[in-house]
Structure 1
Amino acid sequence: MIIRKTVPDGGYYRAGETPDAFKWRENFTELETGDSGYIDSKGALHLLARSSSFVNIGGTKVNALDIERVLRSFGLFRDVLVFGLKDAYLGEKLAAALVVDESSKIDADEVRRLCGEKLPAIKVPRDVYFLRTPFPRTAAGKVRFDKVLEMAGIRAGQDGV
């Protein structure tokens, strides 16, 4: 989503430098919000997802939240996080971190098989990480992505996050 307004914008409050998200045009300012959504026939704005939840697989944008919903629908995982990892051929690939019970016997092949029954092949996670402890969260309840990567043994920057 892009917000366009005719009043010049100085940037974010107390942010110092103005981020690249602000684009000055001749008669207006544009701000790239990082969100995706649509306006319905009645003019109401519907927010769908953060752009950061999209994974670019060979030029196809895949919403990780869609895959998370499918994984949750199986009722096999205490928590789910789907994200992109760098891929030498496609640019990015899907990965899933799944919190399972100690007694769980599910493996990555079974996760891919289940996903393949409900999703097109491009939306099936290629890498699957099983975790036994809950995802760390912020005070606001958001998943600490950096900590989940650490728990899964994924090294940011080196393993392609």
Structure 2
Amino acid sequence: MQNERVTDVLLVPTMIQMFVDHPAIGNYDLSSLKHIIYGASPISEAVLDRAARALPHVRFTQAYGMTELSPIATLLHPGEHVGEGRRKGRHRGAGRATLGCEVRIVDENDRPVPAGSVGEIVVRGDTVMMGYWERPEETARAVVDGWMHTGDGGYIDEDGFIYVVDRVKDMIISGGENVYSVEVENALAQHPSVLQCAVIGIPNEQWGEQVHAVVVSRSGVEVSAGELIEFTKTLIAGYKCPRSIEITETPLPLSGAGKVLKRELRRPFWEGRERRVS
């Protein structure tokens, strides 16, 4: 950026976190950077706040979508990250449907749900893929009556803003209550000792699943699992808080696109079981 005077970049949240937390960020002239577009996975409010503090001259836009949507379905514009938009909490959302797209939230029977209710995010428009190459059955499951099923859970507000709460497969059901890992991760990420975190469901004989967190702590900082659990209780409901936390300095496993591979974190807990739920 310093040498080439880069003005616009596209990053996933993991990259933003690594960028703004780098100890040498203050040693470079980043004044040319004007705009960061981010997407591919939800960003924690703590990381977004750190990015805004580290780069106060930069505007942020979130683009939500997937390859099958060519690839954008919604946009959260820079103005919604600050001022009135932030006061309304829109900086936590994914924005509104972009040109050529319709977005709605449906239940397990593909019926639209009321505003504020969580369901699956589906998208319709000319940007929806024709199908998976030579996989007609998979295509039929993904695209129903022209609506692409994203596999993401979310809700829509009265103004048409979409909020992604979790991947449907990453939702944790503990004692009959739905727990969205993104919400728990947002709470954990606000603790000053937490560099990265990921929340998964692991087997629990009494509750079916329990909320488990893997936390990457900041170098040289000591923090206990008990301290982190008590911290989350001040931010979210008790049943959503982690019941167990693994603290490590080893980076979380990432895909080539920079997404945390939660299946790798879940594997040792569910190994040898026929189902990935209890």
Q: TM-score range by the shorter chain?
A: 0.7 to 0.9
Amino acid at match of 1:132: E
The sequence identity of aligned pairs, in percent, is 21
RMSD between aligned residues? 3.1
Give 1:56 shift.
0.8
Match of 2:237 among 120, 124, 137: 120
Q: Which residue of 1 aligns with 2:254?
A: 137
Match of 2:162 among 6, 21, 46: 46
Give 1:122 shift.
0.4
Q: Which residue of 2 aligns with 1:8?
A: none
* Mapping of residues 12-161 of structure 1, within 5 Å: 12-14=131-133, 16-19=135-138, 21=141, 28=145, 32-42=149-159, 44=160, 46-49=162-165, 50-148=167-265, 154-158=268-272
Give 1:92 shift.
1.0
Unpaired runs of 5+ residues, structure 2, are: 1-104, 107-121, 125-129
Give 1:78 shift.
1.2
SS at match of 1:113: helix
Q: Point out the structure with the larger helix share.
A: 2
Give 1:35 shift.
1.8
Give 1:76 shift.
0.9
Contact kept, 8 Å, 1:67 with 1:82, in 2: the verdict is yes
Contact kept, 8 Å, 2:203 with 2:269, in 1: the verdict is no
Q: TM-score, normalised by structure 1?
A: 0.74
Pick closer, same or farther for the CA change 1:102–1:41 going to 2, 3 Å.
closer
Give 1:46 shift.
1.1
Over residues 110-148 of structure 1, what are the superposed CA-to-partner deviations in whole Å (9 max), with x where a residue is unaligned? 221112222221011011111112113222111123444
SS at match of 1:112: helix
Q: TM-score, normalised by structure 2?
A: 0.46
Unpaired runs of 5+ residues, structure 1, are: 6-10
Distance across 2 between alignment mates of 1:132 and 1:146:
19
Distance across 2 between alignment mates of 1:147 and 1:139:
14
Distance across 2 between alignment mates of 1:37 and 1:145:
19
Pick closer, same or farther for the CA change 1:39–1:109 going to 2, 3 Å.
closer
Amino acid at match of 1:111: L
Give 1:149 shift.
5.0
Pick closer, same or farther for the CA change 1:92–1:140 going to 2, 3 Å.
same
- Between the two structures, name the one with larger relative contact order (CA 8 Å, sep ≥ 6): 1
